[in-house]
Amino acid sequence: MPSKYWVIIPAAGVGKRMQSNIPKQYLPLAGKKVIEYSIEAFLKHPQIHQIMVAISDTDEYWSKTLYANHPKVQQVKGGQERLFSVMNGLEKLHQIADQKDWVLVHDAARPCLNQNNITQLIAKTKNQPEGGLLAIPLTDTIKQQTNQELKTIPRETLWRAFTPQCFPIATLYKALQSAIKQKLKITDEASAMEYQGFNPILVKGSSQNIKITEPNDLALAEFFLKI
């Protein structure tokens, strides 16, 4: 039986840099909410089995979204940090999925994900037991300033890490368990895998797959969605 592909979308954050009373994943964007585009990208993709959305206990917006009651979308408990939201999703998958299945973790505030990027990520990681993630190589000159000293950092080997990030469920589950136990600073799922000695592959994605972080990002996302 072929492996199934599940999705976890951590959506318990508040996005303080957006300077908004509404969590950024629920902000209006071209007629919908930001998170609705993020979910819709996976609902449209034929290889995605089901989506887990991690929601805060105090969330008052999720129930009003388009996909809150969709049969392929399940709500799970969100955590105070992304790491714990993803772990809660994996705990649920540990109960209902085959441990040979795969999971894609995607930011709730990345609404411009295209179908081809999902297809490419799945295709290029399916024979890579260490998984992989969408990313794009840096093109700008990179500067580092420490203690009043300015340095130019070679950019040839530097990439911007995006989501989704795709891993075997069982492997990622163990990696995050270990990260929590060791109290490691985990900023994405790939970093948890790296701490365990794994080497996820980088799959070149699209620069349009932006994360809504600051107010101006909404206008840029709307532009990309209309292209």
pLDDT at 1: 72
Q: Report how far apart, in Å, the C-alpha atoms of 208 and of each of 50, 84, 162 are.
A: 25, 28, 11
**What residues does each domain of the chain span?**
5-226
pLDDT at 99: 79
- For each of the chain's 227 residues, which pLDDT tens digit applies? 789 999 999 999 876 656 568 999 999 999 999 999 999 999 999 999 999 999 999 999 999 999 999 999 999 999 989 999 999 999 999 999 997 999 999 999 999 999 999 999 999 999 999 999 999 999 999 999 988 899 999 999 999 999 999 999 999 999 999 999 999 999 999 999 999 999 999 999 999 999 999 999 999 999 999 98
For the domain bounded by 5-226, which CATH number is listed?
A: 3.90.550.10
Which H/E stretch holds residue 208? none
pLDDT at 2: 83
Nearest in space to 77 (alpha carbons), one of 12, 136, 22, 137:
12
d(CA 226, CA 208): 11
Q: How far apart are the first and last CA of the chain?
A: 38
pLDDT at 34: 98
pLDDT at 39: 98
Query: What is the sign of the dihedral through the CA atoms of 31, 5, 185 and 137?
Result: negative
With H, G, I as helix, E, B as strand and everything else as coil, classify residue 166: strand
